Structure 1
Amino acid sequence: MIKAIDIGIPNALAFRVSDSITESDVSETLAQAKSLGEKYKRITIYEEIESFKGLEFSAVLEKLKYLVNVGISNISAAAILTDKQWLQKIVKAEDKIFRNIDIQCFPLEQRDEAVQFLNRYRPEKLD
């Protein structure tokens, strides 16, 4: 499940992940990303992973479709919070792959530090 949360940053797509992720979860989250991208030149992502039990294959396809159609060029930074070592390794790999995005991984107890990190990427509204 993906649940939207408010971290007080207007251009941040902020959400909490728990249990399994469905295609519907991904569709709703990507719609929010698209909406933010229509308001701001650059957006940030805050992803808090409490637990992760799996991902529907159709959810992966939905994300790939979004990346092909919309892209990631409007994402300036991402803060991923997790205590899972294997997810931390994935985040480090993503940081190397997506060089135009500043991706940082934080332990779950460092929520304030993650928000401060994203605050460096203040929003610019589109005209």
Structure 2
Amino acid sequence: MLEFITHPADHVVAMKIGGVVSARELQQAIDAIEAAKRNHPRISLLAELDGLRWMTLTALLKDVGYGLTQLSDLERYHRVAVITDKEWIKHLAHLEDRLFKALDIHTFPHREYAGALAWVGALPRGEHENPEEDGYHGA
């Protein structure tokens, strides 16, 4: 199961993932990521992982294939927040953070859900897409 979560920042693709993820659901996530990349110079991802058991074989192959196509485009990703209380997922996220230096991946326990939403929604100074919303009115 993969369902989208609303997030107040337009550049964030947020989803809740649990149970078994199908190739169709994974394609919906890929489509959402690609749409965000068309509309924003930098995007962030949030994944709330509750009870993730596995992916179907076709979903796993699609995930690996899409991931490989993103290696040359990692600078487009700003932050990745993983919300989980599962130790094995935390370890996997920390490994990915070390392997992919261009990504800023952090894990958050469920009790810090609000902090994860705030962290993943923040953009680096000077990269706000609508400076008026941040109180900046130019020099």
Match for residue 51 of structure 1?
51
TM-score by length of 1: 0.90
Q: For 2:11, give the aligned amino acid.
A: N
Quote the offset at 1:70 in angstroms: 4.8
Is contact 1:43–1:123 with CA below 8 Å preserved after alignment? no
Matches within 5 A, 1:46-125: 46-71=46-71, 72-73=73-74, 74-121=76-123, 124=129
Amino acid at match of 2:39: K
Pairwise CA RMSD of aligned residues?
1.6
| Bigger share in helix | 2
Q: Distance in 2 between matches of 1:9 and 1:104?
A: 18
Which protein is bigger by CA-based radius of gyration?
2
Deviations 1:19-64 (A, max 9, x none): 1111111111000000100001110001001111111121121122
Amino acid at match of 1:16: K
Given the superposition, is the C-alpha separation of residues 123 and 14 from structure 1 closer, same or farther in structure 2, using an over 3 Å criterion?
farther
Q: Which runs of 5+ in 1 are unaligned?
A: none
Q: Which has the higher contact order (CA 8 A, sep 6+)?
A: 1
Change (3 A) 1:70 1:89: closer
CA contact under 8 A between 2:23 and 2:62: conserved in structure 1? yes
Equivalent residue for 1:21?
21
Residue-pair matches, total: 125
CA distance in 1, matches of 2:65, 2:27: 10
State the AA in 2 paired with 1:83. D
The normalised TM-score by structure 2 is: 0.83
Query: Which runs of 4 or more aligned residues in structure 1 lie more than 4 Å from their structure 2 counterparts after TM superposition?
Result: none
- CA offset at residue 69 of structure 1? 3.8
- Matched residue, 2:12: 12
Structure 2: how far apart are the matches of 1:111 and 1:98? 24
Q: Which runs of 5+ in 2 are unaligned?
A: 131-139
Per the alignment, in what secondary structure is the counterpart of residue 52 of structure 2?
coil
